[in-house]
Structure 1
């Protein structure tokens, strides 16, 4: 049975968004708070940019971070496999 979809209202950079997904409310609160904090920080650093361009910068940063974490995860999985083979 697939995870149940939940609706969550979040206020990010002064705008209200409805997020729909299977994650817990606590998880979505942390996500929304983190995005709001990063948008506020980005707003202070890029006063000349509109919110759409700031959002694009946030997306680029998020994907970059995701790719780096994926690389680390693959290296850790390879290391685990090596260690498991040594134990066998």
Structure 2
């Protein structure tokens, strides 16, 4: 059964976007606001850089954060697994 998708209209860096996905309206709002805030921060730090390059830089930062969190989650799962194995012994 396919997931229900909702639509959310957002303004990010002065441009209008329609975001479509299975997440809640609130989730999409928070995501859009976060992206807009981060792009505004990058704009201040990288004066003269094009919108496209700022967007790529933001994507690189987001993927880097995602990979770091994934690694941390795997380490936590491993510690839990080790702890459970020690309790059985």
Aligned length: 88
- TM-score by structure 2 length? 0.95
**CA RMSD for the aligned pairs?**
0.8
The structure 1 segments of at least 4 consecutive aligned residues displaced by more than 4 Å after TM superposition are none
1:5 deviation in Å?
1.1
3-state SS of the aligned residue for 2:41?
helix
Give the equivalent residue in structure 2 for 1:79.
79
Task: Report 1:42-81 matches (<5 A).
Answer: 42-81=42-81
Q: Work out the CA distance in 1 between the residues paired with 2:25 and 2:78.
A: 34
Change (3 A) 1:2 1:84: farther
Q: Work out the CA distance in 2 between the residues paired with 1:32 and 1:72.
A: 25
1:57 deviation in Å?
0.1
Give the equivalent residue in structure 2 for 1:28.
28
Give CA-to-partner distance per residue, 1:19-47, whole Å, 9 cap, x none: 11000000011101100000001001111
List alignment gaps of at least 5 residues for structure 1.
none
Q: Work out the CA distance in 1 between the residues paired with 2:60 and 2:11.
A: 21
1:2 deviation in Å?
3.1
